[in-house]
Structure 1
Amino acid sequence: MDSLLSWLFSSEEEELNMLYSMACLMVFMAACTFVTLLFENVPYGRYATSKYGFPVNVRFAWFIQELPAFLVPLCLVFWTSSAKTSQLPNQLLIAMYFCHYVQRSLIYPFLIRGGKPTPFVSFALALVFCLYNGYMQVRYLSHYAEYPPHWVTHPCFIAGSMLWLVGWLMNMHSDHILRNLRKPGETGYKIPTGGMFEYVSGANFLGEITEWAGFALAGDSIHSLAFAIFTTVVLANRAVAHHKWYLTKFEDYPKSRKALIPFLF
């Protein structure tokens, strides 16, 4: 894989500049996505329509679209001259990334129960994002990111790591609640309860937003920050859309429950 990167980039400086440009582009795309989502929900699940292409089986879609976020970083770590992987901060940050995407790409798709097909456009965009972001995050961390001595004891790293862990656990627990809403043979939608769902409609989304916000704080780079910003834009829209849908669908939906931020929003 080193030979491929050498063919693509004439020098490490050129690749580093490209990684920086990719992060800036992701922030720009987050802004564009924010404006777009003011007028339309992310087309998936209950919001899917035929205008976004033919339907793709939801398990297949999740597995294939998330797989590049795991495989590309895996190749970058083990089949390139990853000069920074011997450094503890880089190791821990890469481990955080892999901890999420091993579960998301290799485990989560096979735990899905039912689920509506994913429109092809949504599937394709998610696949491109996972490929793009997987390369950007892990290439920077494995080969370029330099942290000061004892960065792992810095308040930013400690606070970010704790946020990441809280978000990861919240996301996993919320997904577990959603998977078990229906008993075998049941259909239709139900009101999720338990965990952070007692406070917000988008508990799973809040978990993932918290996770990548912590990753950005611990990583202290424009690359991790761009990822956190983009994730927040997309998932906040989903949380708000879900909250509005629940309020419309269920007359007995808890009125004190917020969309994304407990007690506030």
Structure 2
Amino acid sequence: MEFDELRLLDALVYLQGFMACVVFVALELVGSTYGRYSSHWHGRQLPARPAWFLQELPSMVWPLYECLRPAAARLVKLPNRVLLAMFLIHYVQRTLVFPFLIRGGKPTPLFSFVAAVLFCTVNGYMQSRYLSQFAVYAEGWKTHPCFLMGFALWLAGMVINIHSDYILRNLRKPGETGYKIPRGGLFEYVSAANYFGEVVEWCGFALASWSLQGAVFALFTFFVLFTRAKQHHQWYHEKFEDYPKSRKILIPFVL
């Protein structure tokens, strides 16, 4: 029987959608176990920097591989190239920049690390192969409102995400320890501005790609980051009596 890769990609979409629901329920019940909550995990743990680098790496390698191989049929089209570049740029930043800016990061539980590696491997394959081999866009898609608005959202989300990470890294002065209330940027409106940026980024990507692959990735991102943002929000309120009561969890003025 001839291998039908498109059917495999379609199956991965539904699998990822199902797993998004499972992960959402699991995180609602038990919460996250990495970062500031890693002390709740009693199993094996890995240093933060190499764990972040290795778990994000597959999502950088897959699009690079598709860009370099001569058989990437759809990459002759501008929308496909731009969309794959959007995916790649995010993961270049998350793989080669973000881990090395971490200051004294908490260990990552082995279970969380393995789960992240699996997700980045499968999702990196699914997004990269679909855009390079199968996604077909109309001739005028590069000027379509969905593509332009999606790209703008992706860019805005990435800027928010990087700026919010910068604020978090610089909360403590040299020699200081402990946690502080984030101030500035969208942290004035939500407890997890960095997560809001990433959700906006992948919703923009989903809109620009107009694909089930992009949509299910955005859904997975929202489910995972909303549950962690809610955990952060509750933790801040319990730890700081003066934590701003007006801040929302993830989406300014809404949620």
Alignment of 1:61-80 (within 5 A): 61-79=51-69
Which amino acid in 2 is paired with 1:250? F
- Aligned residue for 2:203? 213
Distance in 1 (CA, whole Å) between partners of 2:101 and 2:219 is 28
CA contact (8 A) 1:52 1:120 kept: no
Aligned equivalent of 1:180, options 151, 170, 173 = 170
Q: Which residues of structure 2 form unaligned runs of 5+?
A: none
Distance in 1 (CA, whole Å) between partners of 2:31 and 2:246 is 24
Superposition misfits of 4+ residues, deviation over 6 angstroms: none
CA contact (8 A) 1:52 1:121 kept: no
Which amino acid in 2 is paired with 1:48? S
CA contact (8 A) 1:48 1:118 kept: yes
CA contact (8 A) 1:43 1:52 kept: no
Q: Cα deviations across residues 27-79 of structure 1 (Å, max 9, x unaligned)?
A: 01111112212211121112224656311000010011111111122112212
Aligned equivalent of 1:10, options 2, 21, 29 = 2
- Aligned residue for 2:148? 158
Distance in 2 (CA, whole Å) between partners of 1:201 and 1:114 is 21
Closer/same/farther in 2, CA of residues 195 and 32 from structure 1, 3 Å limit = same
SS of residue paired to 2:73: coil
Query: Percent of pairs identical after alignment?
Result: 55
Closer/same/farther in 2, CA of residues 52 and 84 from structure 1, 3 Å limit = farther
- Aligned residue for 1:239? 229
Which amino acid in 2 is paired with 1:218? A
Q: Cα deviations across residues 162-200 of structure 1 (Å, max 9, x unaligned)?
A: 111110100010000001111111110011010000100
Which amino acid in 2 is paired with 1:228? A
Alignment of 1:1-265 (within 5 A): 10-11=2-3, 14-49=4-39, 51=41, 53-79=43-69, 81-265=71-255
Q: Which residues of structure 1 form unaligned runs of 5+?
A: 1-8
Which amino acid in 1 is paired with 2:73? A
> Structure 1-normalised TM-score?
0.93
> Structure 2-normalised TM-score?
0.97
CA contact (8 A) 2:33 2:40 kept: no
Distance in 1 (CA, whole Å) between partners of 2:240 and 2:199 is 26
Alignment length (residue pairs): 255
SS of residue paired to 2:75: coil
Shift of 1:80: 5.1
Distance in 2 (CA, whole Å) between partners of 1:73 and 1:99 is 10
